[in-house]
Amino acid sequence: MEPQLKDGVTDGIATVVIANPAKRNAMSAGMWRDLPGVLDRLAADPAVRVLVLTGEGDTFCAGADISALREPGDEQQALAVRAEEALAAFPKPTLAAVRGFCVGGGSQLAAACDLRFAEEGARFGITPSKLGIVYPSSSTRRLTALVGPSAAKYLLFSGELIDAERALRTGFVDELHPVGALDERVAEFARVLASRSLLTQAAAKEFAGGRLDRDAHWAEQARGSGDTAEGVAAFLERRAPRFTYGL
C-alpha cells in the first residue's frame, strides 16, 4: 500500500490516520506535503468540531521516512515544519491518539496537537542527534513549552526513547490508558469536546498559544454567536446545550 493520509468525519469528529505500515507509519515527503491541505479542508468543514490524529495499526508514527533524507535536507525539514505549523494552527481542538512508536517526526506531530492520549507500551523519542540534523527552532520551542527545558534537552541531546509512563510525568502525554482501552477513551473524550462551545475552545486555544491581543475580537464573537445565552439557558433548564458557533 502506498503511504497516505486517510481521513473521515463522523458525528463532528474528524479522524486523520497516518498510513504507511510497511515503515511503521513513517511520514513520506508526499505525506508531509499533503497534510496542510487535508487540515485546511477539515478546518473549513462546519461539521467538524474536533480532530483526532492517529496511526494505522499498532504504531503512531516512526518519524520521517529516512530514505527521503537523500533528497535536499532543507526541503524535507521545511515540509515537516509546514505540516507541523498547520496542525498547531488548526482552529478546533486536536487530539493525538498514540500507540506504539511516536518518534522523530511523529513526536513533532503529536506535540503540535492540543492534547495527547497514549496507550501503555507507547514509546516516545526525538532523534535528530542520531542523524546530525538540527531540530527546527519552532519545533524546539513547542517541545520546551510542553515538557520544560530540562526534559526537552534530555530528549534532543540524547535521542533516547522514553516510555509512556515517563512521557506522562513530563507532560508530553495527558492521559495514559491500558492496552485495548485507548480507542474507547479517545472516542468518549472527542464526543465531550464536540459537545462543548467551539467559541470557548477557539478563543482558549489562541490565548493559550500566546495570542494575548484578541480579547476584543473574541468578545465581539461572543456577542454575535448566541453561545453564551444558549449555555446559560441550558444550564437553567437542566438540558444539554446546543451551541451553534462555527456551524
Positive or negative: CA dihedral 110, 115, 121, 127: positive
Out of 20-34, 71-85, 121-135, 200-214, which region has the weakest mean confidence (pLDDT)? 71-85
- pTM, two decimals, is 0.94
More confident residue, 165 or 77: 165
The class level of CATH for 4-193 reads alpha beta
Neighbours of 193 (CB within 10 A): 21
227-237 vs 215-225: helix axis angle to the nearest 10? 60
Residue 178 has pLDDT above 70, yes or no: yes
224 confidence band (pLDDT: 50, 70, 90): confident
The confidence score (pLDDT) of residue 71 equals 52
> What are the residue ranges spanned by the domains of the chain?
4-193, 198-237
Residue 117 has pLDDT above 60, yes or no: yes
Q: Kindly give the pairing relationship between strand 13-19 and strand 94-98.
A: unpaired
Which set of grid coordinates corresponds to residue 90? 488548526
- Give Cβ neighbours of residue 149 (< 8 Å, ≥ 6 apart): none
Residue 70 has pLDDT above 60, yes or no: no
Decide if 190 contacts 50 (C-beta within 8 A).
yes
Q: Of all helices (H) and strands (E), which one includes residue 238?
A: none
Instruction: Give CA 246 to chain center in angstroms.
Output: 20
Q: What is the mean pLDDT of the chain?
A: 93
More confident residue, 70 or 93: 93
Instruction: Give CA 76 to chain center in angstroms.
Output: 20
For residues 101-123, give the mean pLDDT: 97
The confidence score (pLDDT) of residue 211 equals 85
The β-bridge partners of 103 are 125
Percent of the chain with pLDDT over 90: 85
- Give Cβ neighbours of residue 20 (< 8 Å, ≥ 6 apart): 3, 4, 26, 27, 28, 31, 56, 65
Burial class (CB in 10 A: 0-12, 13-18, 19+), 228: middle
Decide if 230 contacts 242 (C-beta within 8 A).
yes
Total residue length of the chain: 247
